[in-house]
Amino acid sequence: ESKKPALLRKVEGNEYTFNKNKVYTGELHYRVSTQLTSGFVAVSPMGHFSFNFLPPVPVSPKDSEQVRRPTGKRADEGILLTWQKTNFTESYDVEISLDAAFTAMFYKARTRQNFYVLKQAPEKAFWWRVRSVSGTSMSGFSNPFGVKIQ
């Protein structure tokens, strides 16, 4: 417990708001102290909270969904992948693989939006997943969704 604090702040009132432009991941330990009018310094016991930078939740196409390959005039439209937005996120990494273990990578992309248009889909099937990115912090990847091409 003799470690130097990573952050020491004086606040007015009864709350502290972290910088909204930074993501703190992992477990944080904190202690609150105040000087009473008598001069006595009251110190709280050590508290902690954990913050996990959660991955986005894929929305469409759903897992195991069959998707028709765009043809004719719509052939260049591609397949739209969408996911729920996440807090504190600057961009998203999308990975598309030919296998569920993501050892046969087909395509990788980074986007600022919560969607991606896959212009050239694999022939029969693919799996896709996505993660949130904020600065140098990244969430884990979402659960992979398998898509069958018709």
pLDDT number for residue 20? 61
Q: Of 109, 126, 111, which Cα lies nearest the Cα of 61? A: 126
Q: What percentage of the chain exceeds 90 in pLDDT?
A: 53
pLDDT number for residue 24? 62
pLDDT tens, residue by residue, 80-123: 999 999 988 999 999 999 999 999 999 999 999 999 999 888 88
Mean pLDDT of the 123-127 span: 93
Look over the chain and give the mean of its residue pLDDT values, rounded to a whole number. 87
* CA dist., res. 147 & res. 94, Å (int): 14
pLDDT tens, residue by residue, 9-36: 888 888 887 766 665 666 778 888 899 9
Mean pLDDT of the 72-87 span: 85
Q: What percentage of the chain exceeds 70 in pLDDT?
A: 92
Q: Which two structure tokens, joined as six digits, stand for 39? A: 């001069």
Neighbours of 126 (CB within 10 A): 26
Q: Within 13 A of 14's CA, how many CA atoms are on the CB side?
A: 0
pLDDT number for residue 106? 96
